[in-house]
Structure 1
Amino acid sequence: MKTITLKICLFISFITNAQEVLLQGKITCKDSPVLADILIKESNTGTNSDLNGNYTLKTTKGIHTLYISAIGYKPKEIDITINKENIKNLNIELKEDVLGLDKVVITATRGYLNRKKAPVIVTVTDAKVLEATQAVSLSEGLNFQPGLRMETNCQNCGTSEVKMNGLGGSYSQILIDSRPIFSALNSVYGLDQIPANIIKQIEVVRGGGSALYGSNAIAGTINIITKDPSENSFTIGSNLALIDGTAQDKTLMFNGTVINEDFDTGMALFGMKRQRDSYDADNDGFSEITKMENTSFGLKAFTRPNDRKKITAEFNANNEFRRGGNNLDFLPFLADVTEQIESTVFSGGLTYEYLSPSKKDNYSVYASTSFSKNKNFYGGLAGNEPTDTNIKESIRGFGKSKDITFVTGTQYAHNFDSFLNNKGTFTGGIEYKYNNIDDRKENPAFFPILQTTHILGIYAQQEWMVNNKLKILGGLRGDIHNLAEEFLVLNPRINILYNINNDLRWRTSYAKGFRAPQIYGEDVHSGLAAGEISRIRNADNLKSETSHSFLTSLDWTKELTNGDFSLVTELFYTQLNDAFALEQGTQTAPDSGIFEWIRSNSSGAKVYGVNMELKYAPNKEWLIQSGATLQRTLYNNKIEWSDTDSNQATREFNKTPNIYANTIITYAPTKAFQNNISAVFTGPMYVQHLAGYIPNDKLEKSPSFIELNCKSSYQFYLDDHKHTYFEVSAGIQNILNAYQKDFDQGVDRDVTYIYGPQRPKTFFIGLKFGI
């Protein structure tokens, strides 16, 4: 019996081996090799090409469908029939995805998905856009998406925030590689501290996202995806910018990646050193742009024990010094006005991913943490003589802040072959976030800000392919938030994608969001006016802020012979209930020099409008991409922001224009020669102007601005394979010098009265060497 069984097994093995075929070939684009993934869809088995584009794949005789995908190229499906050959040669030519229409995104559903198939509109800013616009940090690259606008909030310390669909920075959830470790303290200065050379792409989902990512994702979610190691390379570059032709902004940066021959273990390293002089726009001796020194270093590494397991580790460190005010060479307490911050940030994370043998189940476990601390000084002599008494009082402006954030969670996803008679995907997970903030000042009249946040979130969503045209996604998240008055905060979402035809897609969605009444946020940054310190406290019985967001959009893409066309039109409406608003209070104690703003609930607010994004590449030489937003953002009732003049009450959100837009035009006659023109338009907006330099509080209306930029770069190749190069670049930012002309002056100025472009006309030149 054993002999018969052995013969049967040998016969089956012989038949199987006889049917096995070796498929091999080369994957290229315009005669250049491409590093790509090749998948046989029926068996869900595959391989990847090497650095020369060559691949080898074992398969069987019969009819098969190959799916070929690569970063930066359009995916391709090929039906092949294998009859008698034991070895079949198949060379594959891919087309470059010039507009990024087929990018793989993760922010829409917490899983990797082609953005055309995502039930949520995801817009992407990639590294090419950051380079074209000469962005050195994250904050300089966020103006080039519809619905996004950067805003500088202080002349002394240069705090900034990104506004989405007219709502302030605290309404958006910022993620680093899909993890919410961007804490409240980080958000004050952190947008300037993330180097652009670490960023692979920035994914933006507009509209409520609390059902997936938790608190604060009312306006939307910004996910910064950092670069993965994909090939052995090294680049080092420098940039010198002259702000208004005088103030220097110098940057030195490097990137290096190492990966083994099997592509299963790799590491990416990055670093940046930046030094920026302060800039005084009106020659009154007080800065409009802060002096800054920033040093960043980080790494991202991965290993694959096998093709179904992956471990990823990340580490980042940042040290920054910034100072503004006047007499910047003096000790901080001897100047009239000083804001000085010395900050250190360490962050890191570990992720384990597992794919089941059936490739239908995905598991992941992750933990990430961020530790931030800073030494700061807010104050000064305020124009008084430097007597012993005044100096002793000024020294009280020193303080310390500390922030610890920890996030851990697990996620599970299952792909159904049959869910209600069609395919579907379930995603669920548990996430815990801890945040502790300790902010203290030497001044005893300034009470410490002590805040500990615990959030336990449980989320689930089901995606259902109703048919080949219709996809529905429903999700629900429950958060136990120690600062919310409710024990359990529930946030549902529903998204619908309907493919009208191969080129036209319609999406619509509803999402509920919430924001707990935390003490610390972007607006708690200590501002200075007339040498006085202002702080913010929560009103008694402050309620959580909730929202209802509705979006509907049309996404039209058309593949051209040599290029592509894309047009996205998105209508949005968000209703805010119990919306947070700031009202000016009084001095905390006589002669304390500390004034309070009170964060209270308003009767509510609403924001509505339309976002548009156009991308057009008529051929390989030209690329045009533009975005525009038309909107209104209004409180339901007027807000009393001035304590001296009730006539200044307004329904308008501060520094929120009704129209803003951006565009980038690229002309590249050769791969080596790149030319870019970019522009950012900011329409008129209402700006709150506090008394001090002016006699009374006043609601101003700003002019409109057109910030026009240009950049050209040329690469000199140093080898025949074009792997080693030397690049020279130069250009001008804000060519028209569209910059605020009515800054307050002197010690009594309102430092928050700043609006419009981040810098005046700036000349720059860059050098880069790459291998």
Structure 2
Amino acid sequence: MRRLLLLPYTSCFISLTALFPISATADSNASAKTPIEEVEVIGVKQRLEQAGALLDTIQKTEVIGADSIEAKHAANLSEAIAESPGVRVANECSICGVKRIMLNGLKGKHTTILTDGLPVHTLISGYYAVDAVATTGVERIEVARGAGASLTTPEAMGGTVNIVTKEEFENSGAVDVSAGENGFRQIGLLATAISDDQKSRVTLIGQFDTRDQFDGDNNGVSENPFQENRSFTVRLSHDLSYRDNIVVRYSNVYSELFGGPVLGKNVGSIGQALASFANGPSQQLFVNNDVNEQFIGQPYETAEWVETRREEFSVQWLRELNDSWNLRLSASYSEHEQDSFYEGFDYFGDDELQFYDARLNYLASATHQFTFGIDSKTDTLESSSIAGQASPDYVADSFDYQTQGLYFQDTWTPTDAIELAFAIRLDKVEADFTDPAQPGTEIDETIVSPRLDGRIFHNEKWTSRLSAGRGYRAPLSFFETDHGILDGDAGFAIDVDKLERSITGSYALSYEGEKFVSTVSLAWTEVENLAGLSETDNGIPLLTQIDDKGAVTSADIALSYPLADNFTINFIIESYNYDDNFKESYTIAPIEERINFGFDYDFSGWDLVVNASWVGSRDLTDYGYAGTDVSGSVINKPTNAPSYWTMDFRIAKSLSSSLNFYAGANNLFDYNQAADESSPLFFDSEGSYDVTYIYGPLRGRELYAGLKWSF
């Protein structure tokens, strides 16, 4: 009798998760009378991993698995990781809904998003594209915090978010359909197939989701935009031979956002809102010039519309040269096109990214593995604006960004209890704003970035992880400076000539008992040449850099404990401390304190998942908040952001072996800033209208229900 085991063919990763420790179990029902011969059929990549010839980073990594993503009913990347330790998803515009992923308290621009370990997100696609990254077909999301979290991403000063595509080893499929309040609709399609010889595996993924605008205070201006996303992905993995594997991935993403005048109430359609620009400005935007009163201006005066199209392509070839050497060649390409309209200012951007990497791994001995690599990245933005070019002084924000790097890593295991990885990169960096009004190359530097990671097994239950490293990035986009693109109708001014540089140190102590699991983490990051947004004497937005260094310290503790076989509780507490210079660089106040509590309870065939989050109060004056609800008023908006609670839940039941029903609610108690506290809209001291007085949730309760059919 022979039993064929098809082992998962996945990328190697280190499993220190704060809430969901990863373990492997083998189930053997072999009879003593009938011996079973096991035949393992595995690909070259997993075979090298098992042999220790493909070692990955040893730093602390949180892993959000497919089950966790499903339990949250997360439609996109930002929803999937929002409650993870050390992660904050910030909404930085109440009208267009731009989202940023912040790690260890750093800004969203300091986070690098990877797909299957490769960069496919351009410099401007991390702003509106986060909500367009579908979760259908995602095997897991790996969050590694700290500078140099990947050998090929030194610009990830806050860390990396790696989205790993699902790869099955059987013919299968799934259809997931759900709907809910506020126009929520989602359809997810997943199909996997393998060839008869098991050498080829293909994954097909499709997702469509949409949400209506949300206007919590009913003043006719939305606090969250209408959003529609469509995506299609195909991934092919093929074993060319016993020693060769190639993986090819293609993805096509479309997203449309519209915020501002409420569709069906203040304007009939998106087209009508944009066309109202021909009518010219109104005398006043709101009744009594008060943002809490009804919007009565021309629809275009609060309208923000963003349409994006993105194509991604990547290929990875792994070749085992012999028992000690293996080679991996990787390439990725993406093109992100954005067509947009910001309250009368149109903006078109075409951003292309090309990345190439060649890496040699050498298993020198039982205690040393060396990695040698070379990579190249080019990110090119070409932007234009009809409204902007009408001004003779208009300057575009187009740029060329190129890096060529060499890197080396030695992974050393001196004893069974100690693992150390020392890595160093040498990079040639050039950043050039290409508008003729910006002559010369703004940044041309050659820099060295080292990093040290260590893991110490104190005993079977206690483990320490420590990291220290340097990172860099080039500040290039006005989008990254808290939505600076909105003021660009007169052009963009550049005062940038240095790379942002960071130094990071972190430590994590983890305990894993038979039931109780906990992790305590500390991190400190200092950044010099921190970019910020200012303006010239003529009111033109100016991309500049802060003279003094800024620093942030973060601490978090995560606990998990099963009170019973069917009842598990999870608890996270986080704290962030920003110095004055770092606070100065923010326009949207970050979270300073957060507590997350949740549980998973199985009963009578039902599965109930509940998650509650508390965010502490903040002094908004620390982050430069100032403004009034009424234009010209001397009564300022509140600058004390109160603490608040939100709660989500999801309940599911298997109706059959292939059909599941689920229902739930996001933000169950309907707490949102506009309805319960203060409008995110305001007038500044000069009487100009803005949309960034944000400190709380901007979308209310969303009840939903759905069915998932697996086959």
Report the Cα offset of residue 261 of structure 1: 3.8
Report the Cα offset of residue 663 of structure 1: 3.5
Partners in 2 of 1:619 and 1:638 — Cα distance? 44
Contact 1:471–1:496 (CA under 8 A) maintained in structure 2:
yes
User: Residue 375 and residue 454 in structure 1: after superposition, are their counterparts in 2 closer, same or farther (change >3 A)?
Assistant: same
Report the Cα offset of residue 676 of structure 1: 0.5
Contact 1:176–1:224 (CA under 8 A) maintained in structure 2:
yes
Report the Cα offset of residue 613 of structure 1: 2.0
**Do residues 440 (structure 1) and 384 (structure 2) align?**
yes
In structure 2, the partner of 1:169 is 108
Partners in 1 of 2:617 and 2:490 — Cα distance? 27
User: Residue 624 and residue 143 in structure 1: after superposition, are their counterparts in 2 closer, same or farther (change >3 A)?
Assistant: same
Report the Cα offset of residue 688 of structure 1: 4.3
- The structure in which a higher percent of residues are strand is 1
In structure 2, the partner of 1:681 is 614
User: Residue 322 and residue 733 in structure 1: after superposition, are their counterparts in 2 closer, same or farther (change >3 A)?
Assistant: same
Contact 2:215–2:222 (CA under 8 A) maintained in structure 1:
yes
In structure 2, the partner of 1:391 is none
Q: Tell me the secondary structure at the aligned position of residue 417 of structure 1.
A: coil
In structure 1, the partner of 2:289 is none
In structure 2, the partner of 1:764 is 704
Report the Cα offset of residue 348 of structure 1: 1.0
Equivalent in 464, 473, 482 of residue 515 of structure 1? 473
In structure 1, the partner of 2:664 is 731
Contact 2:53–2:361 (CA under 8 A) maintained in structure 1:
no
User: Residue 732 and residue 456 in structure 1: after superposition, are their counterparts in 2 closer, same or farther (change >3 A)?
Assistant: same
| AA matched with 1:449 | D
Equivalent in 616, 620, 625 of residue 561 of structure 2? 616
Report the Cα offset of residue 105 of structure 1: 14
In structure 1, the partner of 2:434 is none
User: Residue 125 and residue 211 in structure 1: after superposition, are their counterparts in 2 closer, same or farther (change >3 A)?
Assistant: closer
Q: Tell me the secondary structure at the aligned position of residue 466 of structure 1.
A: strand
| AA matched with 1:306 | S
Partner deviation per Cα, 1:477-527 (whole Å, 9 max, x = no partner): 111110274531110011222111111111222101112232454237456
User: Residue 504 and residue 744 in structure 1: after superposition, are their counterparts in 2 closer, same or farther (change >3 A)?
Assistant: closer
Report the Cα offset of residue 207 of structure 1: 1.4
Q: What pairs up with 1:362-441 in 2 under 5 angstroms?
A: 362-380=326-344, 397-418=345-366, 423-441=367-385
Partners in 2 of 1:176 and 1:89 — Cα distance? 39
Partner deviation per Cα, 1:670-715 (whole Å, 9 max, x = no partner): 6x53211012222223354454645478782311222101110112
Q: TM-score, normalised by structure 1?
A: 0.76
Larger Rg, first or second structure (1 or 2): 1
Equivalent in 455, 459, 476 of residue 497 of structure 1? 455
Contact 1:689–1:753 (CA under 8 A) maintained in structure 2:
yes
**Do residues 488 (structure 1) and 431 (structure 2) align?**
no
Q: Tell me the secondary structure at the aligned position of residue 196 of structure 1.
A: coil
Partners in 2 of 1:693 and 1:534 — Cα distance? 26
Contact 1:211–1:477 (CA under 8 A) maintained in structure 2:
no
User: Residue 356 and residue 196 in structure 1: after superposition, are their counterparts in 2 closer, same or farther (change >3 A)?
Assistant: same
Contact 2:147–2:154 (CA under 8 A) maintained in structure 1:
no
| AA matched with 2:607 | Q
Instruction: With a CA cutoff of 8 Å and minimum separation of 6, indicate the structure with the bigger relative contact order.
Output: 2
Q: Tell me the secondary structure at the aligned position of residue 118 of structure 2.
A: coil
Instruction: Please list every run of 5 or more consecutive structure 2 residues that lacks an aligned counterpart in the other structure.
Output: 10-20, 40-45, 277-298, 432-441
Partners in 1 of 2:533 and 2:402 — Cα distance? 25
In structure 2, the partner of 1:348 is 313
Q: TM-score, normalised by structure 2?
A: 0.82
**Do residues 214 (structure 1) and 164 (structure 2) align?**
no
Partners in 1 of 2:53 and 2:138 — Cα distance? 19
In structure 1, the partner of 2:590 is 656
**Do residues 228 (structure 1) and 167 (structure 2) align?**
yes
**What percentage of aligned pairs have identical amino acids?**
21
Contact 1:170–1:521 (CA under 8 A) maintained in structure 2:
no
Q: What pairs up with 1:190-209 in 2 under 5 angstroms?
A: 190-209=129-148
**Do residues 310 (structure 1) and 245 (structure 2) align?**
yes
Partners in 1 of 2:571 and 2:234 — Cα distance? 33
User: Residue 535 and residue 509 in structure 1: after superposition, are their counterparts in 2 closer, same or farther (change >3 A)?
Assistant: farther
Partners in 1 of 2:489 and 2:362 — Cα distance? 54
Contact 2:216–2:699 (CA under 8 A) maintained in structure 1:
no
Contact 2:90–2:590 (CA under 8 A) maintained in structure 1:
no
Q: What pairs up with 1:9-20 in 2 under 5 angstroms?
A: none
Equivalent in 255, 269, 283 of residue 218 of structure 2? 283
User: Residue 513 and residue 314 in structure 1: after superposition, are their counterparts in 2 closer, same or farther (change >3 A)?
Assistant: same
Aligned residues: 633
Partners in 2 of 1:606 and 1:616 — Cα distance? 34
User: Residue 680 and residue 535 in structure 1: after superposition, are their counterparts in 2 closer, same or farther (change >3 A)?
Assistant: farther
Partners in 2 of 1:264 and 1:73 — Cα distance? 27
In structure 1, the partner of 2:420 is 472
Contact 1:211–1:491 (CA under 8 A) maintained in structure 2:
no
Contact 1:524–1:536 (CA under 8 A) maintained in structure 2:
no
Partners in 2 of 1:753 and 1:353 — Cα distance? 49
Partners in 2 of 1:105 and 1:158 — Cα distance? 44
In structure 1, the partner of 2:36 is 89
Worse-matched range after superposition: 158-167 or 619-628: 619-628
Q: Tell me the secondary structure at the aligned position of residue 68 of structure 2.
A: helix
| AA matched with 1:737 | D
Equivalent in 170, 191, 205 of residue 270 of structure 1? 205
User: Residue 404 and residue 224 in structure 1: after superposition, are their counterparts in 2 closer, same or farther (change >3 A)?
Assistant: same
Partners in 2 of 1:466 and 1:525 — Cα distance? 49
Worse-matched range after superposition: 576-585 or 740-749: 740-749
Partners in 2 of 1:178 and 1:580 — Cα distance? 27
| AA matched with 2:198 | F
Partners in 1 of 2:528 and 2:200 — Cα distance? 49
